[in-house]
Chain A
Amino acid sequence: MGQYTENELAKDLENQDYKFGFVTDVETETIPVGLNEDIIRLISSKKEEPAWLLDYRLNAYKTWLTMSEPDWAHVRYKKPEFQKITYYAAPKQTKKYESWDDVDPEMKETMAKLGISLEEQKRLTGVAVDFVMDSVSVATSFKSKLKELGIIFCSFSEAVQEYPELVREHMGTIIPHTDNFYAALNAAVFTDGSFCYIPKGVRCPMELSTYFRINAGGTGQFERTLVVADEGAYVSYLEGCTAPQRDENQLHAAVVELKALKDAEIKYSTVQNWYPGDKNGVGGVFNFVTKRGLCETNAKISWTQVETGSAVTWKYPSCILKGDHSVGEFYSVAVTNNHQQADTGTKMIHLGKHTKSTIISKGISAGDSQNSYRGLVQIHKNAHKSRNFSQCDSLLMTDHCGAHTFPYIECKNPSAQIEHEATTSKIGEDQLFYCKQRGISEEKAISLIVNGYCKEVLNQLPMEFAVEAQKLLAISLEGSVG
C-alpha cells in the first residue's frame, strides 16, 4: 500500500470519528444564562420541588461559592466561565409522556441514531431504558413491569415528586454537597437524572439503563443518579452518554451515589462517549464527575467504566467498604486520543473487617493525549484482614502521548494485604506485523490487540454493552498508531 492511500485513509477516518455529533432539532426551553440564587430558585420552581430540596440547593450553592476549582489533577484546560453557562435546558414539551407514543418523533429519531431503539427493546430484551436529553428525562421504558416487583426506576425529578421520603433519606448521604467543587455545583443546579430503588430481597430481572445526551448549545449537564439496593437486593445498572460536536467546551458535572445495604449487590457500568473535541483539541466535553458507593455488611459494589469520550475527564468512581466482608471492584478502560486528557481512577476506602477490593485499570493513550490513573487504597485501623489487589496497565500507541500512574496507598492495619501491579507497554510493531502477515488489516489488528488488552474489563460488561464498547474502542483508536 502506498503512502498516498494511507494518508487518504487517515483523513477519512479523522472526519468520521465521532458519529454522535449531530444536533436534534427540537424546540428547547432554556433559562437565562448565569448562576445566582434566583436561577436556582427558578430551576427549583420549574421542577415544582418541595421546600427542603430548594434549601438543599441554596445551601450547596453557598458552600460552592466558598470553594475553588481543584487543580491537583494531571490535566490542563481553560477553566469554565460559570456565569456563561445555561443551567437548565429542556426539550420543549411540558406534558409528561404517558406512553411511548407520546414521545416527540424528533426525539425518537435521536434515540434511533444513538442506537437505542426503545421500541425494539420493549419487545425483545430485558433492558429498561431512561433517556435524559439535556436536563430532562424524556422516556423510561418498562416502568410498569418493574413496578410489580416493587422496583422504582424513574427520572430523578419524578422520584422527588412521587417518592420524596426515599429521595430525602438517601440523597447526599454518600456524596455530601460539601464533598468537592463540582459535587457542590451539581447539588445546587442539578436538573434531572435517574433514581432507582430495589426493595429488600429483590433481584432486578433486567438491566436498568440510562442514556444521557447533551443536545442544546451553551448548556451544561448536571445530572444526579441515585441507586439504592435494599438488603439482599441485586441490580445491574448501565449508563451511556453522548453529545453533539461543538466548538465550545461543554461542562458535564454529574453526581452518582450508590447505596448497597446489607447483602445487596450493585453493578454499575458506564460507557462514556461524550464528544471528545476535534483532532486539534477544539471543543469537547469537560467531564467532571463524582461517583461513589457505600457498602454495608457483606454488600458488593462493582464499577465498570469504558471511557472513550470527553476532552477532559476527572472522575474517580469509589467504594466505601463500611460493612464487614463487603466487596468493592473497579474495572476501567480509559482511552485518550488526539488532545484528550483523562485523570481517572478510584478510591477504595476499607473501614470494615475482611473487606476486599479489586482494581483493574487499563489506560490506552494515542495521539498527543495524556492519560493518568489516580487511585487511593485506604485501609483504616479497624479493617482487619482486608485485602486489595490493584493492577494498572498502560498501553501507548504513539511516541508523543503520555501515560501516568499515581497510586496512593494508606494502610493503618498490619493484618491487611495489599498488592499493586503496574505495567506500561507500547503497542508492538511486531504484534501488528504478525497480524498483518496472517491477512489481518492494521485497523482490525489494532482493535484485536486492544480488545485483548482490555479483556478483563470488557468481560465485566453485560453482553450487549460489551459489543458496543468493543466497537467504540475500535472507532476511538482508528488510525492511531505512530
Chain B
Amino acid sequence: MIEIKNLHANIEGKEILKGLTLTVNAGEVHAIMGPNGAGKSTLASILAGREEYEITEGEVTFEGADLLDLSTEERAHLGLFLAFQYPVEIPGVSNVNFLRTAINETREAKGEDPISAKEFMAMVREKSKIVELDSKLASRSVNEGFSGGEKKRNEIFQMAMLNPKLAVLDETDSGLDIDALRIVANGVNTLKSADNASIVITHYQRLLDYIVPDFVHVLHDGKIVKTGNKDLALELEEKGYDWIKEETQVG
C-alpha cells in the first residue's frame, strides 16, 4: 500500500524527520506513538502534501505512484485520507455540499460520472449512522460551531463517505471524552477491510484499546526506533517514553 523509505524532512531549516522508514500493507492497522515533538504530526502532514515542509532525502511510494511528486488533491484522488487533528471550519459551506464536491472531484479525476443526488443522499444516511452523527450536522456548515467531539466524528464520517485506501488519523483521540472515543474508534473499525489500511497516530495508549493495531511503532527524534505488537503500547503506557529514549541513545 505505502512504502516510506529513509524519509528526511525540514521545516524552516530544522530537521524533523531523520530517516523514517515504514511499510504498510493492505488490511493492516499501524499505530505510531511517540513523545511530543517526535515528528508524528509532521509525518501526517508530509503524507498529505503540506507545502511548508522540505523533503531532503528519501522516497514514498503509494499505490505504485511516487507520492512526493503528486499534489495534495492527486494524493486524495488516489485514496489517501487524513483525519485532521484540528479540523477546519468553512463557514457557509454545508457538509453535504463539501462532501459532494469532494466525491465528484475524485470521480472526475478517475474519469467517472458525478454521483447522483439520490445515491449521494442514501450514502449520507448510511454513513452518518456509523459515527452516530446527527443528520442535522450533515446539513450544517463544515465544522462550524461543532464541538470537539463532533468535529472528530465528522472527520470519520467524511472518511466513510470518501472510502479511502489509506487513512492517516492524526491524534484523532485528542480532546475526546470516552463516549466520543468509542464512537470514533467504532467507526474506524467498521470501515476496516482487507483492501484498506490505516496509520493511527496517537500520544496515548487508550485509543488502542478500541482500535487494535497490528503493529505499534515508536517514533522518536524523527525516526522509528522500535516496532512491536499491541503489547508495546501497553508497555509504553506503563513506563513512559524515557526508557525508549535511553535505549536509543545507548544504541
Chain A interfacial positions (CB closer than 8 Å to B) = 1, 428, 430-431, 433-442, 444, 448-449, 451-456
Contact = CB atoms under 8 A, between A and B. Distances in A.
Which of A1, A437, A441 has the most chain B CB atoms inside 10 A of its CB? A437
Contact of A436 (B49, B87, B92): B49
Contacts of B49: 436-437
Interface stretch (B14-22, B98-106, B179-187, B216-224): B98-106
A191 B32 CA distance: 73
Contacts of A454: 92
Given A441-B105, A448-B93, A451-B93, A436 B71 contact: yes
B101 A440 contact: yes
B126 to A, nearest CB: 19
Secondary structure dominating the interface of B: helix
B175 interface: no
24 contacts: A431-B88, A431-B90, A433-B88, A434-B88, A435-B102, A436-B72, A437-B49, A437-B73, A437-B75, A437-B76, A437-B82, A438-B76, A438-B98, A438-B102, A438-B158, A438-B162, A439-B73, A439-B109, A440-B102, A440-B105, A444-B101, A444-B105, A449-B90, A453-B91
Q: How large is the interface on B (under 10, 10 to 19, 20 to 34, 35 or more residues)?
A: 20 to 34
Contacts of A451: 92-93
Interface string B41-83: 0000000111000000000000000000001111111000110
B141 interface: yes
Contacts of B81: 437
B75 to A, nearest CB: 8
B50 A433 contact: yes
Most buried by B among A430, A438, A442, A452: A438
B84 interface: yes
A1 B74 CA distance: 9
Contacts of A441: 73, 105
Nearest to B72: A436
Interface of B: 48-50, 71-77, 81-82, 84, 87-93, 97-99, 101-103, 105-106, 109, 141, 158, 162
Contacts of B103: 439
A437 B74 CA distance: 9
B27 to A, nearest CB: 23
A433 B84 CA distance: 11
Nearest to A442: B73
Nearest to A453: B92
B77 A455 contact: no
Looking at A435, A449, A453, the one whose CB has the most chain B CB atoms below 10 A away is A435
B105 A439 contact: yes
Contacts of A440: 73, 101-102, 105
A456 B91 CA distance: 11
Contact of B92 (A438, A444, A452): A452
A430 to B, nearest CB: 5
Contacts of A444: 101, 105
Nearest to A459: B92
B179 to A, nearest CB: 26
A456 B49 CA distance: 33
Contact of A439 (B77, B84, B89): B77
Contacts of A428: 88
A454 B84 CA distance: 26
